[in-house]
Amino acid sequence: MTSLLIKIFIKNGDVKDAEVRRKYGYLGSFTGIALNILLFIGKIIAGIIAGAVSVIADAFNNLSDAGSSILTLVGFKFAGRPADKEHPFGHGRMEYVTGLIVSFVIMMMGFELLKSSVGKILSPEDIKFSPLALGILIASVLVKLWMSLFNRKLGKIINSTALKATATDSLTDSVATTVVIISMLVSKFTGFDADGYAGVLVSLFIFYAGINTFKDSLTPLLGSRPDKEFVNEVYERVMSYPEIVGVHDLMVHDYGVGNLVISLHAEVPCQMDFEKAHELIDIIEDDLKTQYTCLATIHMDPVASHDEETQNAKAMVQKVVAEIDTSLTIHDFRMTKGTTHINLLFDVVVPYGFRYSDDKTVEMIRNKLHEIDEKYFAVIVVDKDMTM
């Protein structure tokens, strides 16, 4: 069914195209609006027939989902707008902002339903068992399960945080409705009024879904760590050029899917012709732009890759750093020899949350190098890996 809908409404399958991606978002949003409104109407009817607050609570949950789909639709529309003078990196993050708004709507709905459910526990009312109401709820579970699979597939195709969150929300809804069905059956066959308690569980499910949506939307806005597979792919692509001897300080800025900014440092042999090295960097930047539809900036670092004495000193420093902790690495290594001391200049990459402070780490490296040779004077810059 999902493949059929994609085939009908989306002719061009290139998801790197902003217009195609927007069509996927529209398909998910319009489908969500239509189905959630139908579910709301069906559950309201079922809830009125049965007189069950948990069913009515579940109905309004579907109404909030329809509203969320409308916000997602608006988010995709704004996210697809091109860059302008005020927003040179485009409007891609509007999708995440929409997700934040949706999360607050969901959590507010969950809180209101929790209050009404607690009221039902304190002042219980008789529930009328209805096969029609039960049938509507069972159909709702099946529809929500399909919606979860539908949105998950769309979200995976275009790598959409909003659609993936909607898929999770739909799955949570199906669980919540199942709880309502169980409460109706318990009330029918045991006489125990479980309606209010089921309403509390449903409201908690809704609130939990809102929190997860909030987290999924906030993380990319704050600046999240890039996908490890993507990072490795970029490293391998740059290192595939034989003249490149090392890559470090890779940073990926996400301004919305399809709006990436990649920057990195590429090491080239210091004896390489400057113009040829500059031309090589331009070629690699163009390669990254074409492959990942991004802005790419590469800083060129000349290194003495063929100087045996420098390479031996670098290997010695790497061994010293690894003795402190294997998670520490170095780059941009240079060596200058004076009459009284030897300068070893390099950056050390210290992981976030490392067991030693940056100052302590630098002090330990300097002391160990000084123990090896009193002439060694280490000039160390502490660096952080933005991809780990």
Q: Where in the chain is the domain with CATH 1.20.1510.10?
A: 2-222
Output the DSSP codes for 21-74: HHHHHHHHHHHHHHHHHHHHHHHHHHHHHHT-HHHHHHHHHHHHHHHHHHHHHH
CATH number for domain 229-299, candidates 2.60.40.10, 3.30.70.1350, 2.102.10.10, 3.40.1180.10: 3.30.70.1350
The architecture in CATH of the region 2-222 reads Up-down Bundle (1.20)
Tell me, what's the pLDDT at 47? 82
Low-confidence ranges of the chain (pLDDT < 70): 12-13, 16, 54, 125-129, 257-258, 388
Q: Kindly give, in sequence order, each residue whose CB lies less than 8 Å from that of residue 214, ignoring residues fewer than 6 positions away.
A: 99, 100, 103, 104, 107
8 Å CB contact between 383 and 358: no
Q: How far is CA 45 from CA 34, 62, 99, 147, in A?
A: 17, 13, 30, 21
Residue-level pLDDT at 212: 81
CATH code of the domain made up of 307-388: 3.30.70.1350
Q: What is the pLDDT of residue 227?
A: 82
Q: What 8-state DSSP symbol labels residue 323?
A: H
Structure confidence by residue, pLDDT tens digits, 188-213: 788 787 778 877 887 887 788 788 87
**8 A C-beta contact, residue 96 and residue 217:** yes
- Provide the pLDDT for residue 327: 93
Return residue ranges of the chain for CATH 3.30.70.1350.
229-299, 307-388
